[in-house]
Structure 1
Amino acid sequence: MDDTLHDLPNIAPDQLRPIDGAGLAGPNAPDHPPRILILHGSLRARSYSRLASEEAGRLLRWFGCETRHFDPSGLPLPDDAPADHPKVAELRELAQWAEGMVWCSPERHGAMTGIMKAQIDWIPLALGAVRPTQGKTLAVMQVNGGSQSFNAVNQMRILGRWMRMVTIPNQSSVPKAFNEFDEQGRMKPSAYYNRIVDVMEELVKFTWLVRGRSAYLTDRYSERVESAEQLSKRVNQPAV
């Protein structure tokens, strides 16, 4: 067995296939590992959204990605602190660094948690000329305290579209999450674990596919018109 699979005890190694990133990426695309930011939506000491996102991170690293997890502890409520607050600045820097993201939230009162929403709300659509999320890939996941539901992932899909992200078709929802992890915090073998493998595999493929093509895919007629009008105004502005 490949040594890199030792941290994935639930995997059938003969079925976990490498991804040919170079074959999927666009022309002249960089060949560095895909950069994936992982957000989770709970501050509990035993947070099942964090444990599920950590499993996702292990899989992403096996697929050759570089991952970073953001700890939401200490992040202020949106607009309750300046943008240069250390946790806000950290989150925004990670959003610009990432080529793709994983959002994993518990479902609380039939919705994503406020902690999850606060993280997304602190990531702006634009920072000057930079759009931190536009054209980047996104996978959504949720954990449930009870029966399986899809309210949180459906909400996060809406947010992903609003943030102009390429939200992949597959998703994960883990019911009765307290039954799905062992005492060490590792996910037990199950169809739910296999679905997380599916989602991460698909996220990596889409991230490679978008690489080298993001600027073309996100080029918009309305924005070209707006840019041309602004340029015309600057050119025709009378000299002072």
Structure 2
Amino acid sequence: MKITIVTGSNRKDASSTQLSRYIGRVLEESGCEVTLFDLYERPLPFYSPDTAGGDANLAAFRKALNEAEGIVLSTPEYHGSLSGVLKNALDWVGFDQFDGKVTLSVSSAGGAVGVSSLQQLQTIVRNVHGINCPEWISVGGSQRDFAADGEPADGKTRERVLRTVQYFVGMVERFKK
């Protein structure tokens, strides 16, 4: 099963990116083939409907989503919303990339949790005909700490990720085309 994880931070080693890498490891241990598309390392041009978007990173981004059977969208929560870089990336894609695919939303917030960004991600996914995983992952405060091996330092956070990823994988398996 092919899963694409999109990390939507514009900061090197952001906690949302660290969480995405951990989710990727968990998915790989479950037998999934994972592509991690880090928008910090591979930025996309500003969206404009007037351009064809002939950018190499954009082509790779679309290809990764096209080939995915399931998608994970990960964002820091900025001012109660998803990051601008992730929103910009999602503006470049649509039905062709998301239609009928299960999508897991993930966030990292400076406060307790990032629910607003998750709700907004789910709205976007619904509007491009994706299937929202009813489970989601949000970390905040000390839950954003990671050990040297890349695992969340908090045991309950690790358990939540494992349980949610297992649920997500089951949904992707049932819904994949």
Instruction: Provide TM-score, normalisation by structure 2.
Output: 0.91
Instruction: Work out whether 1:140 is the aligned partner of 2:115.
Output: no
| Structure 1: stretches of 5+ with no match in the other structure | 1-33, 126-130, 215-240
Look up the equivalent residue of 1:52 and give its one-letter code: L
Of 75, 85, 102, the match for 1:115: 85
Equivalent residue for 2:11?
A: 44
What is the aligned partner in structure 2 of residue 227 from structure 1?
A: none
Q: Which of the numbers 54, 60, 79 marks the counterpart of 2:21? A: 54
Pairing 1:168–2:133 present: yes
Cα distance in 2 for partners of 1:161, 1:82 equals 25
Say whether the 8 Å CA contact 1:145–1:177 is kept in structure 2: no
What's the secondary structure of 1:46's corresponding residue?
A: coil
User: Are the equivalent residues in 1 in contact too, given 2:151–2:158 (CA < 8 A)?
Assistant: no
Distance 2:28 2:44 in 1: 26
SS of 2:77's equivalent in the other structure is: strand
The one-letter amino acid of 1:208's match is E
Contact conserved, 2:15 with 2:144, CA < 8 A, in 1? no
Q: Aligned pair in 2 of structure 1 residues 44, 81: CA closer, same or farther (>3 Å)? A: farther
Contact 2:106–2:138 (8 Å) recurs in 1: yes
Q: Alpha-carbon deviations, 1:2-32, whole Å to 9, x = none?
A: xxxxxxxxxxxxxxxxxxxxxxxxxxxxxxx
Query: Where does residue 28 of structure 1 map in the other structure?
Result: none
Match of 1:210 in 2: 175
Residue equivalent to 2:151 = 186
- Checking the alignment, whether the CA contact within 8 Å between 1:141 and 1:153 is kept in structure 2 is yes
Q: Percent identity?
A: 26
Segments of 5+ residues of structure 2 without an aligned counterpart are: none
Q: Contact between 1:136 and 1:207, CA under 8 Å: does it hold in 2?
A: yes
TM-superposed deviation, 1:64:
0.8
1:106 aligns with 2:73: no
Instruction: Give runs of ≥4 in structure 1 deviating > 4 Å.
Output: none
Q: Distance in 1 between matches of 2:140 and 2:131?
A: 26
Over 3 Å counting, the alpha-carbon distance change for 1:98 and 1:39 in structure 2 is same
Which has the larger strand fraction?
A: 2
Q: 1:123 to 1:177 in 2, by over 3 A?
A: farther
Higher-Rg member (1/2): 1
CA contact (8 A) 2:108 2:144 kept: no
1:76 alignment partner AA: P
What is the number of equivalent residue pairs in this alignment? 174
Q: In structure 1, how many angstroms separate the alpha carbons of the residues matched to 2:8 and 2:166? A: 22
Corresponding residue SS for 1:112: coil
Q: Is the 8 A contact 1:42 1:115 kept in 2?
A: yes
- Computed over aligned residues only, the root mean square deviation of the Cα atoms, in angstroms, reads 1.7
- Residue 107 of structure 2 aligns to a residue in which SS? strand
1:70 matched to 2:37: yes
Distance 1:89 1:112 in 2: 23
- 2:163 match: secondary structure: helix
- What is the identity, as a one-letter code, of the residue corresponding to 1:64? G
Counterpart for residue 117 of structure 2 = 152
TM-superposed deviation, 1:52: 0.3
